[in-house]
A and B are shown apart, each in its own frame.
Chain A
Amino acid sequence: MRTGQLLRTQAFRIVLVYVLLFALSVAALLAFTYWNTRRTLDAQTDQIIEAEITGLAEQYTHLGVRGLVEAVRARSLHGGQALYLVSDTQHHYITGNLNAWPQLSEAQGSQFVEFDYERPVDGKLETRRARGRMFALSGDFILLVAQDVHERYLTTRMFTTTLPWTVGLILLLGLAGGALMSRNMLRRLDAINRTSGEIIKGDLTRRVPLAGSGDEFDLLAENLNRMLDRIERLMKGLREVTDSVAHDLRTPLNRLRNRLEESVARLHASGAQASEIERAIAETDQLIGTFNALLLIAETDAGTTRAAMTALDLGEVAADVVELYEPLAEERRVKLVLLPPGPVTVEGNRSLIAQALANLVDNAIKYTPEGGAVRIRIAAADTGVDLSVADSGPGIPAEDRTRVVERFVRLEASRNSPGTGLGLSLVAAVAHFHNAELVLQDSDVPGAPSGLMAVLRFPKPVSRVATLKNAAE
């Protein structure tokens, strides 16, 4: 299982969206808790500071600077969380347990601000966080009252440092879980897809394996299997019908032919009656030919035939058919060309493909006027193999092209030439049987644009072509 395939699965996408939403909500929750905790703690601190400022301001109003300094000095001695600083407008220290003005910008005016200050702890200076407020006293003095909030600061800072880690961890675990889940799902689906592939290839006896857990995949597999049982039964029925039609028509046809042969043998070979019966035999043979073609079309089209598929060289089959028809073409003064010779491997049944190609070449020679040319070409690409037969005959009008493939359809122009009207239907049926396609189009042979080009488009070739191409590079 490739990573790309994993990322494209529906399961992984669902998990991805879910994990993202989950991480977002966790982040939001943490952020809200942080904000709320801080707000509550700050409000408490601010209340204390507010009360202190009100108290000290009263001292100043009643007892003046001296009273304020006394009060600040007295309160500073208590230690604890409270911090004080009294200075003149030039920020010169007058009294307080803060010995210097913290670096505060003027803009912050009389709002609550946070700042760092230093104080000795166990003989060492420690930078700590404080929260306080400045208060300008009438008479050129400034009072700063603050509270040490270092503990609160450390606690809230934990939130901000753990948040990205938490979210990251959630994402990581979520994605891993998602990958695991989708891999599991993919494995189950792969089993179904593999089985379907084999069934499409023709092995109708295959069934989707069950995991035995009774989950929705097992349910799906069970339903698929039930459907396959039914298809297999139908195919078997169809096959039996074809077989019995074949048998029940061939047996009397055989007797008919036997009797005709017997009668002609009893008669004078040169007599008029003998030639009448010989004509009847010829008609019977034509009937048999049509019947055989129909049966072959029915079987290959429905895929009920058990014809063996092997890896075969399309180039070789084409060369054989060209060789077989070459004298006929020469007799009709039609040039028969095969381009390019060389091996191209496809999966198929040799005689069916030979039959299809023979039908196409036969048609092409039949409809090409003297001096014309028929070109057979094999074009292999990564997407598939095209086996085409192009002629320089009158072609088939575009509007008739789908119709001529149907059984017994013969165009007005060819009504009087020999043929059953099954040739192209058989080619189309053989194409279906090989998962190939029969395409009728204008000839691309230079100088013969009106001609017909019949293309048998086979699906992707077996490795060989790729190997040859690599070797050439």
Chain B
Amino acid sequence: MRILVVEDDLEAQRYLVQGLKESGHVVDEAADGENGLSLALSRPYDVAIIDRMLPRKDGLKVVAEMREHGSATPVLFLSALSEVDDRVKGLKAGGDDYLTKPYAFVELLARVDALMRRRSPVGVKTRLDVGDLELDLLTRGAKRSGTDIELQPREFRLLEYLMRHAGQVVTRTMLLESVWEYHFDPQTNVIDVHISRLRAKIDKGFEAPLLHTVRGAGYMIRAH
């Protein structure tokens, strides 16, 4: 996958580019808004990671102009500004996701993966499968090895999100933002408790667990 990184803090840029390359992506980089914009418009990227404050052209402006020129590349904003309002501003300007510095690289990678996944829709799905676990999106029912699993509405949404991103790391913040649609810092890790409840429902009594904890990052659902 081809990723564009526009970041003026060269130290952070180097780290970001290196990390993404190690994860198997092709990366182009720019250190200011003007160069970033011309790169973004010159070739198709699967994801663009753009700093909010850039010399020569502000990050918000870069994205706004990208959108004006018809670019649909998903954009992840990085910001060192405070976030209560800047987040909304970034998303309004055409950004698809927003991450505040300092961030954990795993968080960034998980979000980049999620943005790419969003980019390639596989038609409208009515059923999600991971191994012998199946989720019927129409009847809102879940089954594992043919046995019905009783799920609360929120548990259903949680499982749906995990299954839509099967094989990808999903972080706790991503879950809070997507499943609960809130953006704040719960002091205790409440998401973990929800996950262990869900795990008890889908994995208990089965030999091969599907819901895995990825140390230092989050969770992942996968068959093997």
A residues lining the B interface (CB < 8 Å)? 242-243, 246-247, 250-251, 253-259, 261-262, 278, 281, 284-285, 288-289, 292-293, 295-296, 299-300, 305-308, 320, 323-325, 327-328, 331, 349-352, 354-355, 358-359, 362, 365-366, 419, 423
Task: Tell which of A242, A300, A351 touches B184, judged by Cβ atoms closer than 8 Å.
Answer: A351
Considering the complex, give the chain B residue whose CB is closest to the CB of A285.
B104
* A255 interface neighbour in B12, B85, B88, B196, Cβ under 8 Å: B12
Supposing A253-B101, A307-B84 touch, asked if A324 and B186 sit within 8 A by C-beta, the answer is: yes
Taken together as a complex, chains A and B put the C-alpha atoms of A352 and B197 apart, in Å, by 27
Q: Which 6 A-B pairs have the closest CB atoms?
A: A254-B102, A355-B184, A306-B85, A250-B80, A327-B193, A254-B101
A361 and B139 CA atoms in complex are apart in Å by 34
B188: CB under 8 A from chain A? Answer: yes
The answer to whether B53 and A247 touch across the interface, beta carbons within 8 angstroms, is yes
- Say whether B82 faces chain A, with CB atoms less than 8 Å apart: yes
Please give, as numbers and ranges, the residues of chain B lying within 8 Å of A351 by CB-CB distance.
Answer: 84, 182-184
What is the distance, in angstroms, from A276's C-beta to the closest C-beta of chain B? 15
B12 to chain A, nearest CB (A): 6
Q: Contact at B190–A325, with CB atoms within 8 Å?
A: yes
State the main secondary structure of chain A at its contact with B. Answer: helix
8 Å CB contact of A247 from B15, B80, B186: B80
B180 partner, pick from A253, A320, A328, A419, beta carbons under 8 A: A320
B141-192 contacts to A (CB < 8 Å): 154, 180, 182-188, 190
Residues of B within 8 A of A349 (CB): 84
CB distance from B19 to the nearest CB of A (A): 8
CA–CA, A366 and B182, complex, Å: 22
Residues of the B chain whose Cβ atoms lie less than 8 Å from the Cβ of A320 = 180, 182
Band of interface residues on B: 20 to 34
Chain B nearest CB: distance from A166 CB in Å?
Answer: 67
Task: Given A306-B84, A423-B187, output 20 extra A-B contacts at Cβ < 8 Å.
Answer: A246-B80, A246-B81, A247-B81, A251-B101, A255-B11, A257-B104, A284-B102, A293-B185, A305-B82, A305-B84, A306-B89, A307-B85, A324-B180, A325-B190, A327-B193, A331-B193, A354-B184, A355-B184, A365-B188, A366-B188
> What is the CA–CA distance of A254 and B101 in the complex, to the nearest angstrom?
6
Most buried by A among B9, B188, B194: B188
Contacts of A307 in B (CB 8 A): 84-85, 88
Which interface residue of A243, A251, A256, A288 has the most chain B CB atoms within 10 A?
A251
- Interface centre among B89, B100, B101, by most A CB within 10 Å? B101
Contacts of B121 in A (CB 8 A): none
Contact present for B15 and A324 (CB under 8 Å):
no
* Distance in angstroms between the alpha carbons of A331 and B196 in the assembled complex: 11
Alpha-carbon distance A258/B197, docked complex (angstroms): 33
Q: How far is the CA of A349 from the CA of B182 in the complex (A)?
A: 11
Mark each residue of chain B from 76 to 108: 1 if its CB lies under 8 Å from any CB of chain A, else 0: 000011101100110000000000111111000
B216 within 8 A of A: yes
Contacts of A328 in B (CB 8 A): 188, 190, 193
By beta carbon, the residue of chain B nearest A365 is: B188
Whether A324 contacts B190 in the complex (CB less than 8 A), given A250-B80, A258-B11, comes out as yes
* Distance from B80 Cβ to chain A, minimum over Cβ atoms (Å): 4
B104–A261 CB distance below 8 A: yes
What distance in Å separates the Cβ of B103 from its nearest Cβ neighbour in chain A? 7
Chain B residue with Cβ nearest A288: B102
Instruction: Give complex CA distance A331, B188 in Å.
Output: 13
Which among A258, A308, A350, A366 is the interface contact of B85 at CB below 8 angstroms? A308
Neighbouring A residues of B100 by C-beta, 8 Å: 250, 292
A325: nearest residue on chain B (CB-CB)?
B190
Which residue of chain B lies nearest to A423 when distances are taken between CB atoms in the complex? B187
A299 and B88 within 8 A (CB): no
A246 x B82 contact (CB < 8 A): yes
Give Cα distance in the complex from A386 to B179, angstroms.
Answer: 28
Q: Which of B1-33 contact A (CB under 8 A)?
A: 9, 11-12, 15
19 pairs, CB–CB < 8 Å, chain A vs chain B = A246-B81, A250-B102, A251-B9, A251-B101, A253-B101, A254-B12, A255-B9, A257-B104, A258-B102, A261-B104, A292-B185, A300-B84, A308-B88, A324-B182, A325-B190, A350-B182, A352-B184, A362-B186, A366-B188
* B187 partner, pick from A246, A259, A362, beta carbons under 8 A: A362
Give Cα A247–Cα B78 distance, bound, in whole angstroms: 12
- What 1/0 mask marks residues of chain B from 49 to 71 whose CB sits below 8 Å from any chain A CB? 00001000000000000000000
How close is B133's CB to chain A, nearest CB, in angstroms? 21
Kindly list chain A residues whose C-beta atoms are within 8 Å of the C-beta of B183. 351
- Beta-carbon contact of B187 and A358 below 8 Å: yes
For B89, list chain A residues within 8 Å (CB).
Answer: 306
User: With a CB–CB cut-off of 8 A, which chain A residues contact B190?
Assistant: 324-325, 327-328
| CB-CB contacts below 8 Å: B115-149 with A | none
